[in-house]
């Protein structure tokens, strides 16, 4: 699933395509998945923001178009066999490509997220000043969940998913199976810094494009942070630090990659 770095890079590439442009029509055949899109017709895009893994298109007349890419969603400049939504602008067409149909679109009054409960409970943006260690530390100490599950929950840090949770835990030298409440303050500080560092690096490198090439930026360019993955997707390969084979286990239904030696797992 596209995570914070991939969604942020998508946002940046969409800005020159949509900003100040009128949405003439949104064409699709799935009103249950792409909800109330008729409200966006004729509206001008005033801004595109990101909140966690959501894109927020600020429209005129107080409307807001919320887009979640799901597991395989992304924007393309050319039609594909899996183009589910066509955005007809004044000067071009942009396509929402989603092979597995997990992406969603809602058009709501600005800030009215009653139909999108996940958006209402997101924690702070980890690359912003709102991401502060005291609150992060308090959230860890108050939880019995394993660290990996805590990071995926979105309340400690919005936008962290499977890839960057694994990579941040490796950088912090912490087992994904440790309980949040069991961390020392020093360990929590290492994780706090690792989350910010990994996400900043990945964003600067365009995100991660995996072997299935599901994620691409709207202009078709891949990300390159996958070349720096230490553990994610490297099961059986040597740890870049100690040489121990990278292990993979399932935690909460999600594949979890880690170094048994470096992370004490």
Strands (E), 12-62: 23-27, 34-35, 45-51, 54-59
Active site residue 53: yes
Q: Where are the alpha helices (DSSP H) in the chain?
A: 4-18, 117-120, 133-141, 147-152, 162-171, 185-204
Active site residue 5: no
Active site residue 3: yes
- Burial class, 43, CB count within 10 angstroms (exposed 0-12 / middle 13-18 / buried 19+): buried
**Selected catalytic residue, list 2, 126, 146, 218:** 2
Q: Which residue has the tokens 């894109």?
A: 55
**Sheet of strand 34-35: strand arrangement:** 34-35, 104-109, 63-68, 54-59, 45-51
**Selected catalytic residue, list 21, 196, 254, 261:** 254
Do 57 and 20 touch, CB atoms closer than 8 A?
no
**Selected catalytic residue, list 3, 6, 8, 125:** 3
**Selected catalytic residue, list 50, 53, 104, 190:** 53
The residues annotated with a catalytic role in the active site are 2-3, 53, 254
């Amino acid at each position: 699933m596209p995570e914070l770095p991939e969604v942020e890079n998508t946002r940046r590439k969409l800005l020159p395509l949509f900003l100040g442009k009128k949405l003439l029509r949104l064409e699709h055949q799935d009103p249950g998945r792409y909800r109330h899109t008729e409200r966006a017709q004729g509206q001008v895009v005033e801004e595109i923001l990101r909140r966690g893994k959501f894109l927020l298109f600020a429209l005129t007349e107080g409307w807001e178009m919320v887009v979640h890419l799901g597991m395989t969603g992304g924007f393309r400049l050319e039609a594909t066999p899996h183009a589910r939504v066509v955005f007809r602008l004044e000067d071009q067409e942009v396509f929402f490509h989603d092979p597995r149909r997990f992406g969603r679109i809602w058009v709501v009054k600005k800030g009215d997220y009653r139909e999108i409960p996940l958006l209402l409970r997101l924690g702070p943006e980890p690359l912003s000043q709102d991401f502060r260690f005291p609150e992060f530390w308090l959230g860890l100490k108050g939880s019995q969940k394993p660290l990996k599950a805590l990071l995926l929950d979105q309340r400690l840090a919005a936008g962290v998913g499977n890839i960057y949770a694994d990579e941040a835990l490796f950088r912090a030298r912490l087992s994904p199976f440790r309980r949040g409440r069991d961390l020392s303050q020093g360990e929590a500080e290492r994780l706090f810094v690792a989350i910010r560092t990994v996400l900043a690096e990945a964003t600067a490198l365009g995100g991660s494009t995996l072997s299935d090439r599901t994620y691409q930026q709207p202009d078709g360019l891949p990300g390159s942070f996958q070349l720096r993955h230490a553990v994610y997707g490297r099961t059986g390969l040597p740890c870049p630090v100690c040489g121990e084979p990278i292990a993979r286990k399932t935690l909460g239904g999600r594949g979890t990659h880690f170094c048994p030696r470096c992370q004490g797992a």
